[in-house]
Amino acid sequence: MNLWQKYWGHLTTINKHKIKVTALCFRCGIYKQGLLHDLSKYSWIEFSSGVKYFQGNRSPIDAEKEDKGYSLGWLHHKGRNKHHWEYWLDNAVGGIKPIQMPTKYVVEMFCDRVVASKIYQKDAYTDSSALDYYDNGNGYLIIHPETDKLIRHLLVYLSENGLDETVSYIKSEILTKR
């Protein structure tokens, strides 16, 4: 794949992701999170590494980490986007401490994971895809137990009830009662 194909492929992917996450956030009633979602992906540090490591079937962040052992784009991204559990880690006496995420950001994380699964898995996507992805990476998470409990609950609910019912549940039960 040449540089222009990577450039347009990455730009198309992040635009599609941004638009779809914004739409799902709006459906859930978290309008500000939808509007602000992932704007840092258009910054030079994130965009340039995204183009360099673009493959089209998975996150370029993973490819950059495999190549270099870290990702400057990811370090920039997770430090500016509150819907990532990594944003909510703090140095504390005795080591890294996870902080409980506010509910609205957990819901945005849910939207992000669902849309990313749909974009990368395409026709192979099912309502269990985001839960499966979460479970596959769960061994390395340093996430607050209450945050983990809520995101897992939403992903399980999605896998059992579908997206439309989960959005209704989020609006009527999760965002109104927390």
Neighbouring C-beta atoms of residue 6, cutoff 10 Å = 18
Residues with Cβ < 8 Å from 58, sequence gap 6 or more? 120
Q: Which band of pLDDT confidence, cut at 50, 70 and 90, is reported for residue 178?
A: low
**What are the distances in angstroms from CA 148 to CA 61, 111, 142?**
22, 15, 9
What pTM does this model have?
Answer: 0.92
Query: Domain range for residue 170?
Result: 3-177
Q: How many domains does the chain have?
A: 1
The CA-based angle 13-125-45, given to 5 degrees, is 25
Q: Tokens standing for 150?
A: 């809520």
- Which helix (H) or strand (E) segment holds residue 92: the answer is strand 89-92
Evaluate if residue 7 carries a pLDDT over 70. yes
Tell me the pLDDT band of 59, cut-offs 50, 70 and 90.
confident
**pLDDT by residue (tens digit) across 71-124?**
999 999 999 999 999 999 999 888 999 999 999 999 999 999 999 999 888 899
Per-residue model confidence (pLDDT) at position 94: 85
In contact, 105 and 172? CB cutoff 8 Å: no
